[in-house]
Structure 1
């Protein structure tokens, strides 16, 4: 009889793809795997492209500011708890693995009351509020770095294991020629990949669109815009899509530099692919976790960071200082490969199997 493990988390790709990396490493002959996520979250669309059974629950958001939705969402969170309690009683998993996001809190609490061991992992240097809540109910707290441990009270620190961040194996199997055929990128022109996370990034998109003529004179631009910012732009040396899926491995293999936000999951994927990065972290409306993430990778010398209000000249000059300097670009690629050589997904899967 197989052991059963339920995964939970969602809201962004950063709460889904690292968990999929762990699932890749697990022995499917020993495990029956399913996922609990939001009935309406973007994680549902990602999981529906896999063979992993998906169970939706109502989900509310935990906000740090005054809002009427803080009151109404309490009812959604309560409904999510009771739905999770029912699912966990029905499915009887040996373990619940949480990757964070607000949708993960009700299943984690329900698992605690049912005495189901909870493993929670956070990719960010500064763990999110959902993870800090979940940690109180967790059997093990899995973190990306030693520095992340300081965000938890002393009484919880004996539960902490530093694992690094899990990265999908599929991202190592990219083919440059496949990417050239897909995008139309010519030989001999540096390729810059632009990503704003799974939901897009308006600031980065604006920098690209406002400077597209000068960028495409020197470089081939591959641009993930996000759904709401997508433009069907007919431009030589430009290839734009709303969102990359499995083809991302091929895109990584072709790219010389990535311009991106600084979500932790994405940064570890870039490093694992040996990709240097120019990071423009999200600051407005965030708790500052992306700035901390970016600082770590700048210290590792595989990234540069731009902050605040960024003008076109600064943006273009920074790209040129990396891509047009062969020695600097090679050094950043080597540093990225060094930073990304750990296999967090394999370690996490071993930890889970040891508990069983």
Structure 2
């Protein structure tokens, strides 16, 4: 039996694409294991899948000054040592990495033990963890065609992003029932990412009275970001995070407001959900979401609204315009050549497994 170790963490976007590969890998007879941190979101998500989980140390990779920048390199070194022990003991045939700071020690340890490594980059430009990992990998999978020119000197291939089959199998009827909506108003889904978005949360709550005149609202707020005082509002339901129920709720949505992480926007494309993207600003990110959103806007899949200069009035106006023109976006998404990348990635895993 072949054995694969998956890694990636720090946010759900670095974990859920890994899980999209699991059914196909199991079908092919792979034993699947995972390496992550002790308290990372990856442990909670993977824990529901009955996958053997190995804990290692890892330091966060920062682009800004922080006192922990002096100590975290030692945590990374410790993580490399711990991951190397796992490699020697488990003897995997291949490692697949989705990125995030936990992946760096795993990729380096695999390389030191001559285990092939395939990494996947979701965004147009590679993140810091993947940039560090690339010299140690066998193959780089990318999501956007534009990414190929940003990964020079490495063996990159366009695969798209892996999307969980259960997401495509969700039920609109079950989704409405889960939310308790009894009227026929269209459903507006708000997604701020697995860690939430204070900016989007505040904009939605400040606009709630107007939005509820037209829509039922499902608001995924992020951990610790719910507002209990709003639980009494009819037509409004909030969650910190959704896992098993998400396929049904996404299928129930008529339009979506979301951040512009690559995983979520390709899920919206696969589901053909008209969407308003509010990318993280350059002030609080490396600008990857701005590039992702621009690509989708150019293709006619998304409407985009930047944080800078956004007002409640502009926000409400764009949501109404999105809803009014939703069929145009649906038709554009139906014509998209993009496909989710499970089969392409699994074929590469099969090709490079030792």
Would the TM-score normalized by the shorter structure come out above 0.5? Answer: yes
Alignment correspondent of 1:350:
347
Alignment correspondent of 1:236:
234
Residues paired across the two proteins, number: 349
Alignment correspondent of 2:173:
177
Alignment correspondent of 1:9:
8
The 3 A distance-change label for structure 1 pair 10 and 275 is same
2:176 equivalent to 1:193: no
Q: Deviation of residue 337 (structure 1)? A: 3.6
Deviations 1:83-114 (A, max 9, x none): 00101111100101110001100010011111
Question: Counterparts in 2 of 1:237-316, with a 5 A limit?
Answer: 237-283=235-281, 284-307=283-306, 308-316=308-316
Alignment RMSD: 1.3
Given that residues 148 and 157 in structure 2 are in contact (C-alpha distance below 8 angstroms), is that contact kept between their aligned partners in structure 1? no
The 3 A distance-change label for structure 1 pair 17 and 94 is same
Deviations 1:105-136 (A, max 9, x none): 00100111110000000111111011111111
Aligned-partner Cα distance in 1 for 2:181–2:16: 27
Question: Counterparts in 2 of 1:1-356, with a 5 A limit?
Answer: 2-28=1-27, 30-153=29-152, 155-156=153-154, 159-232=155-228, 233=230, 234-283=232-281, 284-307=283-306, 308-323=308-323, 325=324, 328-339=325-336, 341-356=338-353
Tell me, what secondary structure is at the counterpart of 2:350?
Answer: helix
Given that residues 273 and 337 in structure 1 are in contact (C-alpha distance below 8 angstroms), is that contact kept between their aligned partners in structure 2? no
Q: Deviation of residue 137 (structure 1)? A: 0.7
Give the stretch that moved more between structures: 302-311 or 179-188: 179-188
Tell me, what secondary structure is at the counterpart of 1:50?
Answer: coil
Deviations 1:5-27 (A, max 9, x none): 00011000110011111222224
Aligned-partner Cα distance in 2 for 1:114–1:63: 27
Q: Unpaired segments of 5 or more residues in structure 2?
A: none
TM-score after normalising by structure 2: 0.96
Tell me, what secondary structure is at the counterpart of 2:102?
Answer: helix
Aligned-partner Cα distance in 2 for 1:340–1:290: 21
Aligned-partner Cα distance in 2 for 1:302–1:253: 17
Aligned-partner Cα distance in 1 for 2:119–2:335: 26
Given that residues 3 and 31 in structure 1 are in contact (C-alpha distance below 8 angstroms), is that contact kept between their aligned partners in structure 2? yes
Tell me, what secondary structure is at the counterpart of 1:351?
Answer: helix
TM-score after normalising by structure 1: 0.95
Aligned-partner Cα distance in 2 for 1:337–1:53: 38
Deviations 1:196-232 (A, max 9, x none): 0000000000011111111111111010001121122
Aligned-partner Cα distance in 2 for 1:62–1:252: 32
Deviations 1:245-279 (A, max 9, x none): 11111111111111010000000111111111101
Given that residues 179 and 251 in structure 1 are in contact (C-alpha distance below 8 angstroms), is that contact kept between their aligned partners in structure 2? yes
Aligned-partner Cα distance in 2 for 1:340–1:38: 36
Given that residues 262 and 279 in structure 1 are in contact (C-alpha distance below 8 angstroms), is that contact kept between their aligned partners in structure 2? yes
Aligned-partner Cα distance in 1 for 2:182–2:65: 52
